[in-house]
Chains A and B, each alone.
Chain A
Amino acid sequence: ETGVTQTPRHLVMGMTNKKSLKCEQHLGHNAMYWYKQSAKKPLELMFVYNFKEQTENNSVPSRFSPECPNSSHLFLHLHTLQPEDSALYLCASSQDRVNEQFFGPGTRLTVL
């Protein structure tokens, strides 16, 4: 596979569930990002990792917990979410924090 992949593509979960979103990039990039896209709103940056180190947490609630075990993989662990967390979650990567970002197809999350 090439580019940025995300799994699962769709996820429905209850407010008491725990689930994880996975992102993998095959581009040899050093920076990875999580974004949230809600209906009719601009993309919101959630987290930034550069060389596996978290460099940005954009005031994201603690029910979202990121993990970056290596430069190719990024996870978003979810627990006790709220219905308003339903959105498209997009992962992106770039060679470094300055260069062009490449996006994955996203995970459509629905919280019941």
Chain B
Amino acid sequence: KQEVTQIPAALSVPEGENLVLNCSFTDSAIYNLQWFRQDPGKGLTSLLLIQSSQREQTSGRLNASLDKSSGRSTLYIAASQPGDSATYLCAVRIPDYKLSFGAGTTVTVRA
């Protein structure tokens, strides 16, 4: 059974600092990995999708890397802003097409 772990569970940084969020998964047989953002009490917004054949994806200040062999992905957010405060979820798509989610990292960016 695929297990997805996100460490740390919570993170607080001053504005302007770069954010590094980690995701690990136990089974490297994945189709893709997706990073989501969730604001309190709200739904999920997709940030980046990395196919299993890719090593990284970039969108604006966001960069996500994927090392399938070691079962790891990292989301980098450059020059953090208070508006980046949210919970960030990592999910892997496993061979039966389901998404397996981590519990998330809650980020607070202090002004």
Nearest A residue to B6 via CB reads A42
Known: A42-B4, A42-B103, A43-B89. A104 touches B97 (CB 8 A): no
Q: Which of A14-22, A65-73, A76-84, A93-101 contacts B (4 or more CB under 8 A)?
A: A93-101
Number of interface residues of B (CB under 8 A): 22
Q: Shortest Cβ distance from A75 into chain B, in angstroms?
A: 17
Shortest A24–chain B CB gap in Å is 14
Contact of A42 among B31, B34, B42, B101 (CB under 8 A): B101
Closest Cβ–Cβ distance, residue A98 to chain B (whole Å): 6
The stretch from B12-20, B43-51, B57-65 touching chain A is B43-51
What residues of chain A lie closer than 8 Å to B99, measured between beta carbons? 43, 45, 101
| Complex CA distance for A78 and B42, rounded to whole angstroms | 21
Count how many pairs of residues, one from A and one from B, have CB atoms less than 8 Å apart in the complex: 45
Partner of A100, one of B4, B46, B104: B46
Nearest B residue (CB) for A43: B101
How many Å lie between the Cα of A105 and that of B101 in the bound state?
17
Check B98 for interface membership: any CB of A closer than 8 A.
yes
Q: Mark B68-103, 1 if CB is under 8 A from A, else 0.
A: 000000000000000000000101010001111111
When each residue 18-45 of chain B gets 1 if its CB lies under 8 Å from chain A and 0 otherwise, what string results? 0000000000000100101000011111
Residues of B within 8 A of A100 (CB): 34, 46, 49
The answer on a CB contact under 8 Å between B45 and A45 is no
Residues of chain A touching chain B, judged by Cβ–Cβ distance below 8 Å, are 4, 6, 40-43, 45, 48, 56, 88, 90, 92, 97-98, 100-106, 108
Residues in B lying within 8 Å of A, measured CB to CB? 4, 31, 34, 36, 41-46, 49, 89, 91, 93, 97-104
Q: Can you list 14 A-B contacts with CB-CB less than 8 angstroms, sorted by A residue number?
A: A6-B43, A40-B103, A41-B103, A45-B99, A48-B98, A90-B43, A90-B44, A92-B44, A97-B97, A98-B31, A103-B36, A103-B44, A106-B41, A108-B41
